[in-house]
Amino acid sequence: MALLTILICIVLLVLLVSWAKVNPFIAFLLVSIAAGVMLGIPINKVTASVQKGMGDIMGQLLIIICLGAMLGKLVAVSGAAQKIAEVLVNAVGQKYIQWALVAAGFIIGIPLFYGIGFVLMVPLIFSVVYKYKLPAVYIGLPMLASLSVTHGFLPPHPSPSALVMLFHANMATTFIYGLMIAIPAIILAGPVFARFLKKIPSEPLATFRAEELPENKLPGAFNSFFTALLPVMLLMLTAFFPYLGIKDAGLLKLVAFLGDPSIVMLIALIVATLTLGVKQGRSMSELAVNFTDAVKDIALILLIIAGSGAFKEVLTASGVSDQIAAQLQQFNLPPLVLGWVIAAIIRISLGSATVAGLTAAGIVSSLVLQNHVNPNLMVLSIGAGSLAFSHVNDSGFWLYKEYFNLSIKDTIKSWSMMESLVSVIGLIGVLIINQFVK
């Protein structure tokens, strides 16, 4: 019954947005309230669940997305994005620019959360798309596949790191196995799959579109790369700082503060304001207008993501993930496959990869000991399952859809299928490795 209710709500959401043309934020609110009532949440607590879900997801993303949009706008209007695109193409050639972006996405994706990596790399993707008149989905999706794979498979990302601890796996071994699976997953779900997506029409978000500037008005290559990638460098430095063996408590607290993604984005925007703004001859009033325009352009995206958070929280609060898991445990499947299936179904139902991964881990944890399953591979199996078929109840779906300005149909054809390919390839990789490490 719970699965049927979720299916009805998802179909209703799709119909409201695509057929009835209801604003996606309002559609999310209507469907979230309906789902809460249908799933048995006391009627006086439904709105509280909706508000909590919106607050939880916006608390994590609001500052990052707003500051990221401002930074992206400045990188675009200053000509830095144009300069970066020129340097990349000159280095690898237009023919291989997609692979250069994939490699950049993979390197950047290891230390960064997916949402941060997305916001930081979208201006770079669009600068290449605009300058060389290339299909946006064809160029952009492979880089996003890199970010998604690192998010689901590789420590130090939250979900795989938590799963390593839950299963008492080895962080280094899990990373190595994850790397072995990640590379073919990225290639097949990224550049190979993207070959079939060249004809998908896409007019990316206007905030990252800037007039092409003459060469003498462009910032230098070092300034452009340094400023655009400063958040990545700061986050990588703070991620590796704990491994330096420094014990000073005060210094560790300071680094933890400076390494918070919101603080990193604020520092990066301040630096960009100086290096790409003031030093390029732009006044603070002109920059303020650019920043205001950037936030206006993403306002609807913020509301849609908040709505997806409300829907996720209603499903989580109803306990539906536990009901799904209990039903699935009755099937006689190999533990590695069962972990993937449970994570995949919870992911498809609730939309959150992290919730899907941690819920599945709690259910199959006893099977790891009973059946002598390799804990490192169980981490990766569940991680792969937690990426399966991202759709309308996932904030990542809407982030991609709205930034690339796609229809729901084309978003499913590209984004949802890419995530599903990553998930299935991940499971296949786990099963292959399992044959050699028993």
- Per residue in 162-215, pLDDT (tens digit) is 788 878 888 888 888 998 999 999 999 999 999 999 999 988 877 777 677 788
Three-class SS state of 9: helix
Residue 389 binned pLDDT confidence (cut-offs 50, 70, 90): very high
Gap between the Cα atoms of 135 and 156, Å rounded: 33
| 137-141 average pLDDT score | 94
The most confident of 89-103, 210-224, 411-425, by mean pLDDT: 411-425
Residues 6+ apart with CB under 8 A from 14: 392, 408
The most confident of 25-29, 39-43, 240-244, 428-432, by mean pLDDT: 428-432
Q: Supply the pLDDT for residue 140.
A: 93
Gap between the Cα atoms of 25 and 125, Å rounded: 27
Q: Supply the pLDDT for residue 301.
A: 80
Q: Supply the pLDDT for residue 15.
A: 87
Please tell me which residue, 275 or 305, carries the higher pLDDT value: 275
One-letter identity of residue 283? S
Q: Supply the pLDDT for residue 325.
A: 65
CB 379 within 8 A of CB 385: no
Q: Supply the pLDDT for residue 156.
A: 64
Please tell me which residue, 339 or 7, carries the higher pLDDT value: 339
381: left (phi over 0), alpha (psi -120 to 50) or beta: alpha
Q: Is the pLDDT reported for residue 428 higher than 90?
A: yes
| 233-240 average pLDDT score | 78
Residue 404 binned pLDDT confidence (cut-offs 50, 70, 90): very high
Gap between the Cα atoms of 289 and 279, Å rounded: 17
Helices (H) and strands (E) in the chain, counts: 21, 0
Gap between the Cα atoms of 53 and 25, Å rounded: 13
**Percentage of the chain surpassing pLDDT 70?**
94
Q: Is the pLDDT reported for residue 423 higher than 90?
A: yes
User: Mean pLDDT across the chain, nearest whole number?
Assistant: 86
Residue 158 binned pLDDT confidence (cut-offs 50, 70, 90): low
Q: Which two tokens stand for residue 281?
A: 């001859």
Give the predicted TM-score (pTM) of the model: 0.77
| 81-104 average pLDDT score | 84
Q: Supply the pLDDT for residue 112.
A: 62
Residue 419 binned pLDDT confidence (cut-offs 50, 70, 90): very high
Q: Tell me the pLDDT tens digit for each residue of 28-41.
A: 899 999 999 998 89
Q: Is the pLDDT reported for residue 350 higher than 90?
A: no
Residue 420 binned pLDDT confidence (cut-offs 50, 70, 90): very high
Question: How far, in Å, are 17, 35, 303, 307, 393 from residue 32 at the CA level?
Answer: 14, 5, 14, 8, 10
| 296-315 average pLDDT score | 84
**Percentage of the chain surpassing pLDDT 90?**
33
CB 167 within 8 A of CB 387: no
